[in-house]
Amino acid sequence: MLKSPLDPKESLQLNNKFWPSESFNNLNLISDLEESLSKNGYLGSMKLLKRTANLLPKSARKSFLFLIARERLFKTDFGIHFYENISLKSLDEKVDINLGTHDYIPQKSEELEHLEKSIISRYRHCFGLDITKMHRQIRFAVPDNKTEDIRKFGGLSDYHNDEAKGLTSMVYLTDVLDPDYGAFQYIENSNTIPRSDVLTAAHTAVGFTLKINTPNQMGGLPLEFRGNPGIGNFLDNSKCELLKPFIKDVLGNKGTAWTFNGHLLLHRGGKVTKGFRKAYFIQPEGRLFFKIKTFLKAYSLSLLVSR
């Protein structure tokens, strides 16, 4: 299932649902670049890197090169892990929090410390030993007009990958026993679907550097680069049908907890259409070695090739 990232019929990332009369004309170049990066490294791939970067608007080329290098660092195939149901008493006083997203530092508790130690351990297993900072939020969601996001592009609308590499952990602070109450959703084993680093970098640059997010904005781009991390919005209908049987709703009582790799696991945040949902989010950030390696590899490559 979707095992060949550079074969349009078998690729998660190559889709032309919105442009059926157009063809993929740059697959050989992208394939040559992928092969050269594996065999010859960056210095031996300079010409191919420049040719591929030049397919994008000038304002996105440096970002594209940075993102290629970042994709090739810290490889992991981790998808999702569930913990035993927990009771975070230190968060109980926050159940009356107002609508929206709120950063805060919770009271210390043995259970919360144990959870965060488990999260840091998993982060280090994926990305290496590092000094970590924990980002903590409570998010309170109720029905709103954003529920259109899960419908307007078909059955897998809004399924996406996160832009940044890292892990996210969630804990339900309310019972979520029905998808309508904002259940987190993911596509099982989508983290194992082969991806092209070049296409991932290009689609990320399109979505976050150029801020192009809808099909009607993409006409000036090569067909291979018409996409962004919102993969579910662009998937060909036949591929959507292949993936739909693997959709999982995370249903559970208050205290249901899990960690996932949003950069690889296709997922979407639960859209509340009934009642409300409160959830606790924890995201570890590598503050030293992760950033040093990314800077030395990614930033230096983007400067070198873009000269």
pLDDT of residue 141: 86
- Token duo for residue 152: 């307007």
Q: Alpha helices, DSSP H only, in the chain?
A: 27-40, 46-53, 58-71, 110-127, 197-204, 237-243, 289-294, 300-305
Asked whether the beta carbons of 167 and 283 are under 8 A apart, the reply is yes
Q: Positive or negative, the Cα torsion across 219, 224, 228, 234?
A: positive
Q: Name the pLDDT band for 46 (thresholds 50, 70, 90).
A: very high
Q: Which of 82-86, 99-103, 258-262 has the lowest mean pLDDT?
A: 99-103
Res 270 pLDDT > 60: yes
pLDDT of residue 188: 98
pLDDT of residue 146: 65
232-241 b/e (C-beta count within 10 Å ≥ 16 → b): bbbbbeebbe
pLDDT of residue 112: 86
| Mean pLDDT, range 17-39, rounded to an integer | 96
3-state secondary structure at position 189? coil
% of the chain residues with pLDDT over 70 = 92
Q: Residue 84 gets which letter from DSSP?
A: P
Q: Residue 252 gets which letter from DSSP?
A: B
- At residue 175, what is the residue type? D
Quote the CA–CA distance of 55 and 177 in Å, as a whole number: 47
In 73-120, which ranges are E strands?
A: 80-82, 100-103
Asked whether the beta carbons of 243 and 64 are under 8 A apart, the reply is no
How large is the greatest C-alpha to C-alpha distance in the chain, in angstroms?
Answer: 59
State pLDDT tens for residues 275-301: 889 999 999 999 898 888 888 877 777
Cut 0.75: pTM above it: yes
Q: Name the pLDDT band for 109 (thresholds 50, 70, 90).
A: confident
- Token duo for residue 236: 């060909």
| Mean pLDDT, range 192-218, rounded to an integer | 96
| Mean pLDDT, range 240-248, rounded to an integer | 96
State pLDDT tens for residues 115-129: 999 999 999 999 999
Quote the CA–CA distance of 104 and 240 in Å, as a whole number: 38
Domains identified in the chain and CATH numbers = 38-307 (2.60.120)
Which carries the bigger pLDDT value, residue 42 or residue 265?
265
Res 93 pLDDT > 70: no
